Structure 1
Amino acid sequence: MATKYQFVKTISNPRLNASKTLKAQTQYELNKKIADQKEKWKAQIDKLNIQAKIENESKRAEELTKETEYILESYKNILMTSAQTNHVINFDSLLISNEYPPFIYNESAPLLEDYIRKHNVPSPSFWEDLLPFIKSTRIKKEDAARDDYNTSYEQYRSKKELEYRQYLESKASFEKNKNNHNQLFIRIRDGYLSHDTESICDYFLLVLENSPLPKGISLDVEINYIPESCALIIDYMLPNQNALPRTVSYSFVKTRKEITEKQMSQKEFDAFYDSIIYQLALKTIHEILSADINNSIATLVFNGYVHGTSLATGNDFTSCIVSLSVTKDDVLRLNLERVDPKECFRNLKGLSIGALKNLSPVKPYLQFTKNENRFVESRDIITNVENIPNIAKMPWEDFEHLVGGLFEKMFNVHSGEVKVTKASRDGGIDIVIYNPDPIHGGKFVIQAKRYNIVVPVSAVRDLYGTMINEGATKGYLVTTSYFGSDTHKFAQDKPISLIDGSFLVHLFQEHGYTVKITTE
Structure 2
Amino acid sequence: MSRRSPGLVSAWAEIQRQQQRQTEAQRRARAQAQREAERQQRAMERAQARSRREQQAAYRSGREADVARRTGELDARMAELRGLLRAGCAAPAFSPAALTTAEALPPFAPGRLAEPVPMPRLEAYVPQQHTGWGGRRAQEAAARAQFETDLVAAQAAEAQRRQQLAGYERQYRQWADQRLAEIRRHNDAVRAWLDGLGRGEPSAVEEYLTAALYAATVFPEGLPRQVSASFQPPERRLLLSWELPPFSVVPEVSAIRYLPGQDREKEVARPVTERRAAYRDVLAQLMLLVLREVFAADSSGLLDSVALTGFADATDPATGHRSPVSLATVLVSRADFTAVNLSRVDPVDCLVEGLGGQLSARPDKRAAVTAVRLPGTAGRAAVSHGGGAEPDLLAMDPLEFEELVAELFRAMGMQAVTTVRSGDGGVDVDALDPDPIRGGTIVVQVKRYRNTVSPSAVRDLYGTVQSVGANKGVLITTSGFGPTSHTFAHGKPLTLVSGTELVELLHQHGLTGRLGPAPAAGRAGSGDPGGSDPGAAGGDGGASGDSGRRGAGPDVLDDPEASVLGMWWDGPVRLDVCALVCRGGAALSDAHFVFYNNPCTADGAVRMTPGLGEDKAAVWVAFDRLPAAADRLVLVAAVDPAADPHADLAGFTGARIRLTDSSGAEAGRLEVSDGRPGETALVLGSFRRRSGGDWDFVPGGRGYGGQNALEDLLRDHGVDVE
- TM bin, normalised by shorter chain, reads 0.5 to 0.7
- Percent of residue pairs bearing the same amino acid type: 16
Paired position in structure 2 for 1:199: 204
* Residue 59 of structure 2 is aligned to residue 53 of structure 1: yes
The one of 323, 331, 352 aligned to 1:346: 352
AA paired with 2:240? I
Paired position in structure 2 for 1:263: 269
Mapped to 2, the partners of 1:249 and 1:322 lie a distance apart of 30
Paired position in structure 1 for 2:325: 319
The one of 338, 345, 362 aligned to 2:369: 362
AA paired with 1:325? L
Question: How many residue pairs get matched?
Answer: 345
The one of 151, 154, 165 aligned to 2:159: 154
Unaligned runs of 5+ in 2: 1-21, 128-140, 382-722
CA deviations over 1:282-313 (Å, ceiling 9, x no partner): 11112211332211112201111112333333
* Residue 226 of structure 2 is aligned to residue 226 of structure 1: no
CA deviations over 1:25-48 (Å, ceiling 9, x no partner): 254443343233212201101101
User: 1:331: how far off?
Assistant: 0.9
The one of 315, 319, 323 aligned to 1:309: 315
* Residue 262 of structure 2 is aligned to residue 247 of structure 1: no
SS in 1 for 2:81: helix
Change in 2 beyond 3 A, CA 1:37/1:193: same
SS in 2 for 1:319: strand
AA paired with 1:356? P
AA paired with 2:204? S
User: 1:235: how far off?
Assistant: 1.5
Mapped to 1, the partners of 2:344 and 2:380 lie a distance apart of 45
**Contact 1:289 1:297 (C-alpha < 8 Å) held by counterparts:** yes
Question: TM-score, normalized by length of structure 2?
Answer: 0.42
**Contact 1:115 1:145 (C-alpha < 8 Å) held by counterparts:** no
**Contact 1:115 1:148 (C-alpha < 8 Å) held by counterparts:** no
CA deviations over 1:122-141 (Å, ceiling 9, x no partner): xxxxxxxxxxxxxx999998
Mapped to 2, the partners of 1:373 and 1:329 lie a distance apart of 26
SS in 2 for 1:217: coil
AA paired with 1:79? L
AA paired with 1:152? A
Change in 2 beyond 3 A, CA 1:105/1:300: same
**Contact 1:188 1:200 (C-alpha < 8 Å) held by counterparts:** no
Mapped to 2, the partners of 1:57 and 1:184 lie a distance apart of 58
**Contact 1:95 1:185 (C-alpha < 8 Å) held by counterparts:** no
Q: What aligned pairs does 1:3-152 form with structure 2 within 5 A after superposition?
A: 25-89=31-95, 91=97, 95-96=101-102, 98-104=104-110, 106=112, 107-110=114-117, 114=120, 147-152=152-157
Mapped to 1, the partners of 2:75 and 2:25 lie a distance apart of 65
More deviation, 89-98/245-254: 89-98
User: 1:366: how far off?
Assistant: 1.5
Change in 2 beyond 3 A, CA 1:316/1:110: closer
**Contact 2:236 2:303 (C-alpha < 8 Å) held by counterparts:** yes
AA paired with 1:369? G
User: 1:242: how far off?
Assistant: 2.3
Mapped to 2, the partners of 1:7 and 1:205 lie a distance apart of 97
CA deviations over 1:130-180 (Å, ceiling 9, x no partner): xxxxxx999998986774354223211222123323433553565356446
SS in 2 for 1:322: strand
Mapped to 2, the partners of 1:39 and 1:170 lie a distance apart of 74
SS in 2 for 1:297: coil
Mapped to 2, the partners of 1:94 and 1:190 lie a distance apart of 14
Mapped to 2, the partners of 1:371 and 1:7 lie a distance apart of 110
SS in 2 for 1:249: strand
Unaligned runs of 5+ in 1: 9-22, 122-135, 375-520
User: 1:116: how far off?
Assistant: 5.7
Paired position in structure 1 for 2:294: 288
SS in 2 for 1:158: helix
CA deviations over 1:217-257 (Å, ceiling 9, x no partner): 13222233232332212211111112332333333222233
Paired position in structure 2 for 1:216: 222
User: 1:105: how far off?
Assistant: 5.1
SS in 1 for 2:115: coil
* Residue 340 of structure 2 is aligned to residue 331 of structure 1: no
AA paired with 1:155? Q
Change in 2 beyond 3 A, CA 1:48/1:141: closer
User: 1:85: how far off?
Assistant: 3.7
Paired position in structure 2 for 1:274: 280
Mapped to 1, the partners of 2:148 and 2:82 lie a distance apart of 83
Change in 2 beyond 3 A, CA 1:48/1:373: closer
Mapped to 2, the partners of 1:187 and 1:26 lie a distance apart of 100
AA paired with 1:355? R
Question: TM-score, normalized by length of structure 1?
Answer: 0.57
User: 1:79: how far off?
Assistant: 1.5
AA paired with 2:292? H
AA paired with 1:151? A
Mapped to 2, the partners of 1:176 and 1:6 lie a distance apart of 99
Paired position in structure 1 for 2:243: 237
CA deviations over 1:75-98 (Å, ceiling 9, x no partner): 111122223444252726964354
The one of 172, 186, 189 aligned to 1:167: 172
**Contact 1:225 1:231 (C-alpha < 8 Å) held by counterparts:** yes
Mapped to 1, the partners of 2:144 and 2:350 lie a distance apart of 98
SS in 2 for 1:262: strand
RMSD: 3.9
**Contact 2:122 2:144 (C-alpha < 8 Å) held by counterparts:** no
Change in 2 beyond 3 A, CA 1:59/1:24: farther
Higher helix proportion: 1
Change in 2 beyond 3 A, CA 1:213/1:148: same
Mapped to 2, the partners of 1:94 and 1:45 lie a distance apart of 65
**Contact 2:313 2:324 (C-alpha < 8 Å) held by counterparts:** yes
Paired position in structure 2 for 1:388: none
SS in 2 for 1:301: strand
User: 1:117: how far off?
Assistant: 6.3
Change in 2 beyond 3 A, CA 1:53/1:115: same
Mapped to 2, the partners of 1:243 and 1:233 lie a distance apart of 26
**Contact 2:284 2:359 (C-alpha < 8 Å) held by counterparts:** no
Mapped to 1, the partners of 2:372 and 2:58 lie a distance apart of 60
Change in 2 beyond 3 A, CA 1:83/1:371: closer
AA paired with 2:249? A
Change in 2 beyond 3 A, CA 1:142/1:351: closer
Mapped to 1, the partners of 2:244 and 2:90 lie a distance apart of 22
Mapped to 2, the partners of 1:140 and 1:28 lie a distance apart of 82
**Contact 1:119 1:145 (C-alpha < 8 Å) held by counterparts:** no
More deviation, 350-359/89-98: 89-98
**Contact 1:233 1:368 (C-alpha < 8 Å) held by counterparts:** yes
Mapped to 2, the partners of 1:279 and 1:196 lie a distance apart of 30
Higher Cα radius of gyration:
1
User: 1:184: how far off?
Assistant: 6.3
Change in 2 beyond 3 A, CA 1:137/1:247: closer
SS in 2 for 1:337: helix
